[in-house]
Amino acid sequence: MEIFLLDKTIVVVIVFLITLLIAMYSTWAERKVAGFIQDRIGPNRAGIFGILQPLADGVKMFMKEEIIPTQADKALFIMAPGISMLTALLTSSVIPWGSYLEINGRQVMMQITDINIGMLYIFAVVSTGVYGIMIGGWSSNNKYSLMGALRASSQMISYELALGLALISVIMMTETLSLKSIVEYQAINGWNIIYQPLGFLIFFICALAECNRTPFDLPESEAELIGGYHTEYSSMKLGLFLFAEYVNMFISGAIMSALFFGGYNLPFHEELSTVFSHNTLAILGTVSFMLKTFTFIFIFMWIRWTVPRFRYDQLMHLGWKILLPLAMFNVVATGTVILIKMLW
Amino acid sequence: MEKLTNRSKVVVKKEMTFLESIYLPAIFGGMWITLKHFFKKKPTIQYPEEKRPFSFVYRGLHILKRDEQGRENCTACGLCAVACPAEAITIVAAERKKGEEHLYREEKYAASYEINMLRCIFCGLCEEACPKDAVYLTEELVPSQYDRKDFIFGKDKLVQPLGTSAHPKTYKPYKK
Amino acid sequence: MEQLLFIILSVISVAAALCVIFVRNPIYSVLSLVITFFSIAGHYILLKAQFLAIVNIIVYAGAIMVLFLFVIMLLNLNNTENQEKRSFVSKAIAVVAGGLLLVSLVGLLKGSVLTPTTGGISSDDIGTVQRLGKVLFTDFVLPFEISSILFLSAIIGAVMLGKKDLKDH
């Protein structure tokens, strides 16, 4: 029991640190990608290739003056960035980062916990993710912040539905809600993207919306709402809000690669297992999982620096009148195929 | 109404085809363009370390030249001040005293020679007007200042220091 | 361990539920209601009903309370003066309604005998989706379908209301 707890604690700490580290370097990568797409170089002064830029940004954020508006609701104003960060980090607990490692004959799972309702857990945490933004926007006592918060909440509610329906078709195929089982299902049957391309497209678009990434960054649109829900925030509180966005991005990239792109499975597993030991294979699997995740993070950034922002009515039109019926159709189609297979 | 030019384009709002209305091909097209830019050569120049070469005819900060014996060329004739379209040059003339022959080439010299760098438009007309080859525009940029009065460059900043190269284009007053 | 968790969760849920009623600011009220939902979800997990717990969070904390918060933020109800001007009639109606609820609750609880029902079904997967789905589609298929028809009619009603609004303008 104690060893189990120790293992879990270590895994939790490692996952936590890696998530934060990757989110940190995502900020750097974002600026680099933005630069390269706009024919610039991006940050390159702090360290070689600007590799120390996140540290410099962090130091800057901490040194900035802390401003709390006098008319703001102080308790909620301070709480909101924390809630944002918390909900962003919570999801990482059910993601299978790899299979297991064998250390001194014990099997250490490279996943914090494999609950049998993992998918629903993710969905629940995502659906509560809007609270940080809403509370932050409301407590600032600023009309732009409030409008950002309202936009965020309506956007998230609208896109959660299509997100959930896109997931349901995957669940119908794999017949499990545990993410680890879904990954293992793909080891036998091939990646889910082959069977669910439409589901993946819907999920991807909704993930963009849930992360408040361009073209769905209406809650924080800097042109119309001067920063939206974080207009009044400064110093590290603003930093936490911005950071939560990158954590969300990393987590949704990880979820997408676990659900649709085989997670930590390696191709030619049989052939490779004769060459490498189990632990090496497990680590290789984790590396491939991370590579897939990074690809998604890159695609997120790539989209951000290509596509302009939606107008509000376009956003609602896309969510309710296009994605939702499409996801519904996808569910019905998947059900029909499963039924036909069963009757065969 | 009659058209003023034939360049105007008639905008027609026609129905989008299905492929256009799902927007995805257009989005992928846009992403292809940004991806191409991703791998393009970057024109960035790392400024303080790397500098772009100036054109040979570039006109920057002025200098007041000395001749081969280190005497100031300027005779305070005022032609530069007259030629200046921005009226940036103010000259106070003085007569050369005995024993100052090693300092000034002509009998008259500029006791004060001020150029207001905020007024100056760097047209180079002073350089063309000068009969004594005294004023030249170098490749140097005017350094930024916090105060307006610091932009009025007197003789202390303008006169070519002793022992430097005579050619104005290779002469760099602010470089060690 | 479970005892300790139960006590902590109970304290949180009762305290948050009291906050919902006694806090002046409606935003705080809603947020404490969210906390209550979370702690109740914790109770569900202790009772091995994980599915119910998660659905509770998704539906109530994730969707309904967000809408509540949305509406309260839009109405900007946080000026407390309005609450002083309640008429005597509305207060009286509230007292009567609350009293009736209390009476019916007491009546219900008095008749029932509190027996531990976990004896027969102590298996760990009692609350899993598979078990729940099987039960829903076999033993309780009629109520399940009836409630789905109810939802369908509610959806159609909502759509009708929305459409009618559009035509008027």
Is the sign of the CA dihedral B75, B76, B81, B82 positive or negative?
A: negative
Residues of A with CB under 8 A from a CB of C: 73, 76, 115-117, 120-121, 123-124, 126-128, 130-131, 134-135, 138, 146, 149-150, 153-154, 156-157, 160, 177
Percent with pLDDT over 70 in chain A: 99
Provide the pLDDT confidence category of residue B124 given band limits of 50, 70 and 90. Answer: confident
Residue C42 has pLDDT above 70, yes or no: yes
Backbone angles phi, psi at A314, to 5 degrees: -65, -40
- Residues B141-155, mean pLDDT to the nearest whole number: 89
- The model's pLDDT over A85-99, given as tens digits with 9 standing for 90+, comes to 898 888 888 888 877
Q: Which among A150-154, A275-279, C86-90 has the top mean pLDDT?
A: A150-154
Return the residue of A nearest to C133 by Cα: A175
- Residues C112-139, mean pLDDT to the nearest whole number: 68
Going by C-beta distance under 8 Å and a sequence separation of 6 or more, which residues neighbour residue B142?
A: B60, B61, B117, B151
Residue A151 has pLDDT above 90, yes or no: no
**B18-26, long-range: CB < 8 A, 24+ apart:** none
- pLDDT for B176: 34
Are A37 and B31 in contact (CB < 8 Å)? no
Q: What is the mean pLDDT of chain A?
A: 85
- Both structure tokens of B150: 């610091």
Place of tokens 């490749």: B139
Q: Which CATH number fits domain C1-78: 1.20.120.1200, 1.20.210.10, 3.40.1280.10, 2.40.50.200?
A: 1.20.120.1200
User: Among A121, A127, A134, whose Cβ lies nearest the Cβ of C63?
Assistant: A127
Residue A272 has pLDDT above 50, yes or no: yes
- Residues C80-96, mean pLDDT to the nearest whole number: 74
Lowest mean pLDDT segment, chosen from A95-99, A330-334, C22-26, C112-116:
C112-116
B40 vs A: CB within 8 A: yes
Place of tokens 């008429």: C87
Are B34 and A40 in contact (CB < 8 Å)? no
* Residue B49 burial by Cβ neighbours in a 10 Å radius (0-12, 13-18, 19+): exposed
- pLDDT for B173: 47
Lowest mean pLDDT segment, chosen from A217-221, B68-72, B87-91:
A217-221
- Residues B26-52, mean pLDDT to the nearest whole number: 86
Lowest mean pLDDT segment, chosen from A104-108, A162-166, A185-189, C89-93:
A104-108
Residue C133 has pLDDT above 50, yes or no: yes
User: Among B27, B35, B37, whose Cβ lies nearest the Cβ of A307?
Assistant: B27
A36 vs B: CB within 8 A: yes
Residue B171 has pLDDT above 80, yes or no: no
CB A94 within 8 A of CB A122: yes
Provide the pLDDT confidence category of residue C96 given band limits of 50, 70 and 90. Answer: very high
C132 vs A: CB within 8 A: no
CB B65 within 8 A of CB B168: yes
Percent with pLDDT over 70 in chain C: 80
Are C27 and A121 in contact (CB < 8 Å)? no
* Residue C143: its H or E element: helix C141-168
Residue C49 has pLDDT above 50, yes or no: yes
d(CA B137, CA B168): 7
Helices (H) and strands (E) in chain B, counts: 5, 5
Higher pLDDT, A338 or C79: A338
Provide the pLDDT confidence category of residue C120 given band limits of 50, 70 and 90. Answer: very low
Lowest mean pLDDT segment, chosen from B29-38, C91-100, C123-132:
C123-132
Residue A135 has pLDDT above 60, yes or no: yes
Backbone angles phi, psi at B93, to 5 degrees: -90, 155
Going by C-beta distance under 8 Å and a sequence separation of 6 or more, which residues neighbour residue C49?
A: C126, C127
Chain C interface, mutation test: which of A116, A146, A210, A313, most C Cβ atoms within 10 Å? A116
- pLDDT for C146: 93
d(CA A211, CA A130): 10
- Residues C147-164, mean pLDDT to the nearest whole number: 87
- The model's pLDDT over A169-183, given as tens digits with 9 standing for 90+, comes to 888 888 888 888 888
CB A149 within 8 A of CB A137: yes
Are B37 and A40 in contact (CB < 8 Å)? no
Residue A109 has pLDDT above 80, yes or no: no
* Residue B113 burial by Cβ neighbours in a 10 Å radius (0-12, 13-18, 19+): buried
Chain C interface, mutation test: which of A122, A123, A127, A142, most C Cβ atoms within 10 Å? A127
Are A160 and C128 in contact (CB < 8 Å)? no
Structural domains for chain B: 62-158 (3.30.70.3270)
Place of tokens 């297979």: A341
B37 vs A: CB within 8 A: yes
Helices (H), chain A: 2-37, 53-63, 74-90, 118-128, 130-139, 143-174, 179-189, 192-195, 197-210, 235-260, 269-275, 278-304, 312-316, 324-343
d(CA C155, CA C143): 18
- The model's pLDDT over A40-88, given as tens digits with 9 standing for 90+, comes to 888 888 888 888 888 888 888 888 888 888 888 888 888 888 988 898 8
**Between the CA of residue B17 and those of A55, A313, A320, B22, B73, what are the distances in Å?**
50, 21, 22, 9, 77
Provide the pLDDT confidence category of residue A158 given band limits of 50, 70 and 90. Answer: confident
Domain boundaries, chain C: 1-78, 128-169
Provide the pLDDT confidence category of residue A143 given band limits of 50, 70 and 90. Answer: confident
- pLDDT for C153: 94
- pLDDT for A152: 83
d(CA B74, CA B126): 12
Neighbours of chain C (3+ CB pairs under 8 A): A
Are C61 and A128 in contact (CB < 8 Å)? yes
- pLDDT for C84: 59
Residue B164 has pLDDT above 80, yes or no: no
Lowest mean pLDDT segment, chosen from A23-37, A225-239, A240-254:
A225-239
